[in-house]
Amino acid sequence: MECNERTLLLERCATTMHTYTRASIKWQNLTGMDNTQAYQDSRSARSRARIQVDLATYELEQHERVHLCHPAAIVPITS
Q: What's the whole-model pTM score?
A: 0.80
Report pLDDT digits (tens) over 6-24. Answer: 999 999 999 999 999 999 9
Please give the angle made by the CA atoms of 24, 51 and 70, to the nearest 5 degrees: 105
Each residue's pLDDT tens digit, 20-74: 999 999 999 998 888 899 999 999 999 999 999 999 999 999 998 898 887 655 5
Distance (Å, rounded) from C-alpha 60 to C-alpha 7? 9
Domain limits of the chain?
Answer: 4-67
C-alpha to C-alpha distance for 1 and 72, rounded to whole angstroms: 7
Query: Is residue 1 predicted with pLDDT exceeding 60?
Result: no
Angstrom distance (rounded) from CA 36 to CA 42: 10
